[in-house]
Structure 1
Amino acid sequence: MTYVVGIDGGGTKTAVDVANEQGELLKQFHVGAINYNGGDEETIAASFAQMFESIKESCGSLDQVSQIVIGAAGISNPQVSIKLEQNVRAQGYEGPVYITGDQEIALYGAQNAMEGIILIAGTGSICFGVNGYGEKHRTGGFGHLIDDEGSGYSIGRQLLSLLVQAEDGRLKDSIIPAMVYEQLGLRTVQDIIGFVYGKHTTKKDIAALAPIMTKACELGDAQALKLAKSTAESLYELIVPVIERLKLQRSPIAISGSVLQKSPFVHSALERKLASTYPQVKLIMPIKDAAYGAVLMACSLNHRSHV
């Protein structure tokens, strides 16, 4: 028997699914992040070593693996694909490996087909769609320095911005600063500046503050409610070009990522915005996750190679 491997290289961890060529799952596990936009070479290499040790245990030998599909963030940078394949080859795998954006495997898993729309808002944000003619369009996903509006990172950054505005008197009557201080275990704005600009602080650390927005919304904080609404508007702006360019005005949108799945305030605000312009478009939960989407893609590639 031969096997396929689907790998979802997310922003904070990597999900791996091992399945037979019919897509029946054999094993699911997680290792550390393999994201070159937020991690170092040594850590990523260690994640690959751990990953392939588990794959070998599951399949008996890497020779039994007929296809690997990796969906990863940062593929817009052409060097990322090269480095990811080098890591795979360094583990002794000589078979076919297909590397694509994580939005593609997420769509495949979420809609159980390479068709429709997925909106991802986790550490980063991106919207991706494919219509019945195979035409594709993507919005967002260009990284936290120039993009990622509506993401966990964007929310975390805004919360920190609200804190410093409260400290210098530009903002009044918000519980957000106290909640940020508490979560970070810090006491002064100088401590906050040290955290934000510290060389060991990553975008994941900033994004980890995002749940504070939802907690503050539940307590009726006006600034938090305003932030949830603006987050939904940013995500709506990602959706519109995908719908319009691909003519998917009736397609359900699968939602992925903690911002949409764990913040009812953002979710409901986005639903209201969509209802006013695209009443036939509904937000749905994914059928399967992105790692299994990579498995489906691997099975499809195998099938095509045998035809």
Structure 2
Amino acid sequence: MPSNNRYFIGIDGGGTKTELVIGDETGKVILSKIGASTNLKSRKETQVRNTVHQLLKDAIPTIPEHIFVAAAGGDRREDKHRWKSWIREIVGTDSVITVENDAIAALAGTTFSKQGTVLIAGTGSIIYSFQHGAEPIRTGGWGYLLGDEGSGYDIGKRGLQAVMQAYDGRQGETALTDRILKRYGLKNPEELITFIYEHEYPRQVIASTANDVIAAVSEGDTVAGSIVETAIQELLQLIAAHRKKAQAASPIVLAGGVFQSRYFTELFRNKSDTRFNQKYEFLQAEMPPAVGAYCCALLEAGISVPDTAITTMKESYKQVQSKTKKLGAE
């Protein structure tokens, strides 16, 4: 990359993976790299630091003007400090670094701005509203031990519990048993114990099981149907609680892996129409959060993001996707 260009980095540090995007001031994405999760509540600090360092070393031929990090827990002072210190170890003091909650990147990946409301159902769950000149407003997002209701982890865990309960005879048979065992190449439910408890990334594995639960619902499995119904009601409860605090809650961007299922999203929309007197406008997430973080880096630097830049962003990101390299945890 020519050294006279201006470069900006967006980092999405999620519960399942971390993606770094680097681009110039016109909205052109030049590089995308993917690494392991950088969630400090589910991985050791040394592992997260190593992932951050590896991503930056692979991506930076020249010092970027601004780095915007959208990380799980990025709105907490301690986590902001840690992220900034790790990045400084690689880029020095020449770059401006901003660290915020990962919800802002999920929002900006669709609105290409830093204003609006986003409901995330990924590995975790949260609803966040951002408004110019005001403090962000959040509901949920308290992690897999204290919250994350309706998330991929929540759905996946309930699915696995249903398999074990069926195995015990505590509830009826479910198609989830065959689906989940096939996914992981196991012969019987007892093998799930070793597989889950001794897995390096149990939280991510459990969250990925949500795909099987949702698929089983579409095939008429009543056990899976009950799990998904509970998850949807939990997410709607987030909206119900949030709208008491946030003045403008619509439209709402739907982001995260759970909402990548058209079937789940359609069920969710229908249940929302039934539950609320107000008909909410929902927007499907358009671009990955890492692109949203890159967009935020431009905005933080005072660079406008017009329609031409948005088009450039979308087209150039698609071109570099094939070059994305998965980095393992160290």
Contact 1:16–1:28 at 8 Å: present in 2 too? yes
> CA–CA distance in 2 between the matches of 1:135 and 1:92?
29
Aligned residues: 297
SS across alignment from 2:146 = coil
Is 145-154 or 271-280 further displaced after alignment? 271-280
Give the letter aligned to residue 31 of structure 2. K
SS across alignment from 2:129 = strand
Residue 236 (structure 1) aligned with residue 240 (structure 2): no
Closer, same or farther: CA 201–134 of 1 in aligned 2, 3 Å? closer
> CA–CA distance in 2 between the matches of 1:6 and 1:261?
22
Give the letter aligned to residue 84 of structure 2. E
Alpha-carbon distance, 1:185 to partner: 2.5
Relative contact order (alpha carbons < 8 A, sep ≥ 6): 1 or 2 greater?
2
| Partner residue, 1:53 | 57
Contact 2:11–2:290 at 8 Å: present in 1 too? yes
Is 229-238 or 188-197 further displaced after alignment? 188-197
Is 235-244 or 273-282 further displaced after alignment? 273-282
Closer, same or farther: CA 199–184 of 1 in aligned 2, 3 Å? closer
Is 166-175 or 138-147 further displaced after alignment? 166-175
Identity %: 27
Residue 268 (structure 1) aligned with residue 272 (structure 2): no
> CA–CA distance in 2 between the matches of 1:213 and 1:126?
21
Closer, same or farther: CA 291–219 of 1 in aligned 2, 3 Å? same
Please give the TM-score of this superposition, normalised by the length of structure 2: 0.82
| Partner residue, 1:16 | 20
Alpha-carbon distance, 1:271 to partner: 0.8
Alpha-carbon distance, 1:163 to partner: 1.3
Instruction: Write the deviation string for residues 60-115 of structure 1: whole angstroms up to 9, x where unpaired.
Output: x22xx111110001335543222222211221332211111000222222222222
> CA–CA distance in 2 between the matches of 1:280 and 1:91?
48
Contact 2:75–2:100 at 8 Å: present in 1 too? no
| Partner residue, 1:292 | 291
> CA–CA distance in 1 between the matches of 2:183 and 2:29?
38
> CA–CA distance in 1 between the matches of 2:293 and 2:116?
16
Instruction: Write the deviation string for residues 273-304 of structure 1: whole angstroms up to 9, x where unpaired.
Output: 22131443122113433222222222222229
Contact 2:177–2:189 at 8 Å: present in 1 too? no
Contact 1:107–1:114 at 8 Å: present in 2 too? yes
Q: Equivalences for 1:19-98 in 2 at 5 Å?
A: 19-57=23-61, 61-62=62-63, 65-75=64-74, 77-94=76-93, 95-98=95-98
> CA–CA distance in 1 between the matches of 2:299 and 2:173?
55
Give the counterpart of 2:6 among 2, 7, 11: 2
Contact 1:13–1:30 at 8 Å: present in 2 too? yes
Structure 1: unaligned runs, 5 residues or longer? none
RMSD over equivalenced CA pairs, Å: 2.2
Instruction: Write the deviation string for residues 37-74 of structure 1: whole angstroms up to 9, x where unpaired.
Output: 222344333322332223323xxx22xx1111100013
Is 7-16 or 182-191 further displaced after alignment? 182-191
Please give the TM-score of this superposition, normalised by the length of structure 1: 0.88
Instruction: Write the deviation string for residues 5-61 of structure 1: whole angstroms up to 9, x where unpaired.
Output: 11111222222221223433333332332222222344333322332223323xxx2
